[in-house]
Amino acid sequence: MTYCLGIKVRSGLVAIADTRITSGTETATAKKISIHENGRNSLFLMTSGLRSIRDKAVTYFEELFEDESFKFDKMYKAVNMFGEQLRRVAQEDKRALAESGMFFNLYAIVGGQLENDKEHMLYLLYPEGNWIEVGEGSPFTIIGNSGYGKPILNRALNYESSLRFAFKTGFLSFDSTRVSANDVGYPIDVALYPRDSYKLQQHRLEEKDTAQIGQMWASKLKNSIDEIPETWMDAFLNKE
């Protein structure tokens, strides 16, 4: 399993991905975000699913993205092209994978801004190569282990949140997932895109970098529960 989160707020984009890969009893670390920049074209890709599908599809896409004969001037065109690469890999490998008992299950989050986009864009791409755009009404999407991290995002985040608040909330969402799922863990890769900058900022965070924040979050969460009044429970807890 994995945890990849993409957030779109008015001021930019946030991408957070863990790097843990678990196979049986073996655990390894691998990058799940790829950055693609070419002039005033800047985007990121995050994936969840079979590593062999991911590596092949991203390699095909990167080759086309860097080819001067291909003109990507809007995000939807780049997303369509990555979808085509997914379908290409499916034609090449899906049958063999099925015969080996494995599913063609690559999901992707694609975000960025290309030279003719009026604003930054965020998309969720399905294994079939089709996609949906992430918009103002629900400004985030998660692939992988999504159950533990959604509640804080649903309660706290909206499209008008600042980029800093979005990153902070996104990290707490990851931290909530990490403490509840042993197949999600450090280090985490982060990509930040300030609106109209045409430049992605990349960072890798180890557990030691954020341990204090995780501990503070756990403590404040417990204290908040302690502070909630308990009189509403009296009617049924005091029954004899």
Give residue-wise pLDDT tens across range 66-88. 876 667 899 999 999 999 999 99
> What is the model's pLDDT at position 72?
81
Count of the separate structural domains present in the chain: 1
CATH code of the domain containing 8: 3.60.20.10
> What is the model's pLDDT at position 25?
56
Residue 112 has pLDDT above 60, yes or no: yes
Question: Is residue 116 included in any domain, yes or no?
Answer: yes
Q: Edge-to-edge strand order for the sheet containing 33-37?
A: 33-37, 42-48, 107-113, 121-125, 131-133
**Cα(195)–Cα(9) distance, integer angstroms:** 9
What's the whole-number average pLDDT of the chain?
90
**Cα(41)–Cα(38) distance, integer angstroms:** 5
Question: Is residue 220 included in any domain, yes or no?
Answer: yes
Question: Is residue 77 included in any domain, yes or no?
Answer: yes
**Cα(211)–Cα(221) distance, integer angstroms:** 15
In the block, residue with structure tokens 């399905």: 126
pLDDT band, very low/low/confident/very high, at 165 (cuts 50, 70, 90): very high
Question: Is residue 173 included in any domain, yes or no?
Answer: yes
Residue 22 has pLDDT above 70, yes or no: no
Predicted TM-score (pTM) of the model is: 0.92
Question: Is residue 239 included in any domain, yes or no?
Answer: no
Question: Is residue 98 included in any domain, yes or no?
Answer: yes
Question: Is residue 192 included in any domain, yes or no?
Answer: yes
Q: CB of 72 within 8 A of CB of 78?
A: yes
Question: Is residue 234 included in any domain, yes or no?
Answer: no
> What is the model's pLDDT at position 78?
93
Domain hosting residue 156, numbered range: 3-226
